[in-house]
Structures are given as C-alpha cells and as structure tokens.
Structure 1
Amino acid sequence: MLEFKFDTQLLIEGKDLDEDAINDYFTTHFKGDCLLAVGDDELIKIHYHTNEPWQVLEYCASLGEIYDIVVENMERQEQGLKG
C-alpha cells in the first residue's frame, strides 16, 4: 500500500513565480513526497505525490493560471488498472 496515493502534475503560468518559495510552501503545508517544482519566474512544472491533490491545485491556482493538469491514482496503476 502506498503512503501517498495520487501523482499530481501540472504547469503554473504566472508572473514573478519563485520555485524556492513554492518548494518551501509545499514542504510546510502539504503531506506528500517526490516534490518537483522547477522552472522560471513565468512557468513552473509541479510533480507531487499526495493524498490531497485538490489542496495542491487550489494553492497552485492562487499563483497563476494552471493547465496540463494530471492527477493519477497510483494504487489503481499498481493493480494494473487505469490510474
């Protein structure tokens, strides 16, 4: 059984984005692992494993426009089902 069920990926497009500040916010406010928040001040790619993907989406939407959103259920994938 996985500790964190959902693989959450998206892009954030905005102005003055700060990948270090985003990393810090995630580690302080969300439970999860495998965080990847990389990019520049206008575009950030997020990858994160969590049980509350809606919290990640809500926070990221507060930073700018979010798109290319993918939330996959890794437990289903582990069972050979569509995630």
Structure 2
Amino acid sequence: METDYRYDTQLLIEGTDLSEVEITKHFENEFEGDCLLVVGDDSLIKIHYHTNEPWLVLSYCATLGEIFDIVVEDMFRQSQGKKG
C-alpha cells in the first residue's frame, strides 16, 4: 500500500460563505492525512482526503454546512481484494 492512511474520505458540503482556502488550512493544521482535495465555491465544496480518522473530518465538515454524498472507503481492505 502506498499510503499510511487507511480511509479514502469523500463528501460534499453545502453551505454559505464556504472558503476553499480556510478549509484547506484547517485540514493541514488539524488532521493527519494526505491527498487533500478541496474544490468548489462559496456554496458547495467537494472534499477528498485520505486519513485514519474519517469521523473527525465528517464532524468538522458538518460544522460548515450540510454534508452529503459521503463515501468512506477502506483502502487497506481494497488492496487485499476485499470490499472496502
């Protein structure tokens, strides 16, 4: 496995006054992970992140607005040919 982080975490955040820059800074300062992608505009943001603690990501994102299209996949299980 190429990453030390187990969970591929993806979601959308719908809200108001969302900031790609501020969300990215929060992830970089508060979470351990890699492959961060934060894209969108002030009302809709897509998050993609590899982490060992996806529940922390979901908890933070829920403070920013409504979260939906949530996907958390276990990349370690997938690398073993199992359902993730």
Give the TM-score range, shorter chain: over 0.9
Identify the residue that residue 8 of structure 1 maps to in structure 2.
Answer: 9
Identify the residue that residue 51 of structure 2 maps to in structure 1.
Answer: 50
- CA–CA separation in structure 2 for the residues paired with 1:42 and 1:66: 12
| Residue 17 (structure 2) pairs with residue 23 (structure 1) | no
TM-score by length of structure 1 reads: 0.98
Q: Which runs of 5+ in 1 are unaligned?
A: none
| Residue 41 (structure 2) pairs with residue 37 (structure 1) | no
SS of the residue corresponding to residue 63 of structure 2 reads: helix
Q: How many residues align?
A: 83
TM-score by length of structure 2 reads: 0.97
Q: Which runs of 5+ in 2 are unaligned?
A: none
Deviations 1:12-56 (A, max 9, x none): 000000000000000000000000000000000000000000000
Identity percentage of aligned residues: 69
